[in-house]
Every structure is written in C-alpha cells, then in structure tokens.
Amino acid sequence: MDDFEFVYCSLDHYAAEYRTYTSEMPWWCLPHLSPVVDKLRIHYKAEGVPFMCVLDKEGKLLCGDAVNEAMEDTEGARFPWRCARHIEEVLPDTYVKNDGTYNPTSELDSKFLILYFGARWCSKSTIFTRKLIRGYRALKRARDDFEVS
C-alpha cells in the first residue's frame, strides 16, 4: 500500500480549542489560523465540518466525501477511501423510466451516466431542471445512447 498521512486542517476559532483538540490527534496538524487552511477549504469545497477528502500524491481529489466513506468503513477495508466506487455497488437492480416502467439497471452498463440530484421544492433546481430537459431532448435527438438518471 502507498504511504499516506492524515493532516488536520483546523477550523477552530480559538487557540485553546485547537491545542486541546489536536493534543489527542496522532497525525499532522496545520498551525492554528494558518491561511493555507482557508485556501484548502475553498479549493476542496469543504462547506461544513467534519469534512475530509482523500488526495493522491499529486493532490488530485480521489474522494470529496471521505467522512461518509470512513463512517461506513470503520475497519478500513476500502482504505484509501475513493468515492468513485464501482457503480454496480451503488445502483439498485432496477430504475424507473418516466413512463413508470421498471427496467434492469444492466441496460445502462455501456453508457456514460450523469446522476442529477434535484428537488421540486428548490427553485434553483427547478430552473436548472427545465434547462437540462431542453438540453437532454437536443442530445436525445442527436444521439440514442444518452440517459439521465
């Protein structure tokens, strides 16, 4: 297995909190109030705490939601956590078409998938969905191998 390091990027407001919290940690810690922390937070889109991401040796993001990965894998069987698991592990056996029929997910095996998460109650989502529908219809006219799930 490749070498790895955990690095704590503190969002603590007070130095005393930082010292108390980091005194328990067996890994590297960036200094309290380091300007690098904010740059990393913005770059890797850390919008809440706890947040943990996994980077490769070049700094490329392997997993942007490693907290959930780690919480589900407390024994580290899938470490180093990569969010890009095989889609077969995540998708159900069937999907629902807009006509209400259930089809086997295996029909999607040879296709690129774009997973779109939205909600009718969210106005931004509703606006985006309308635009996406127009783009989807244009793509479907041009290609018969395009699906949005």
Residue 149 pLDDT > 50, yes or no?
A: no
Are residues 97 and 103 in contact, defined by beta-carbon separation less than 8 angstroms?
A: yes
Distances (CA, A) of 40 to 2, 37, 44, 54, 149: 23, 5, 6, 12, 32
The mean pLDDT of the chain is: 81
Cα(26)–Cα(79) distance, integer angstroms: 18
Q: What is the pLDDT at residue 8?
A: 93
Q: What is the pLDDT at residue 146?
A: 60
Helix (H) / strand (E) containing 129: helix 123-142
> Is the previous residue joined to 35 through a cis bond, with omega within 30 degrees of 0?
no
Domain-by-domain residue ranges, the chain? Answer: 7-72, 87-142
| Look-up of token digits 């998460």 | 117
Average pLDDT over residues 111-124: 75
Highest mean pLDDT out of 27-36, 39-48, 83-92, 116-125: 27-36
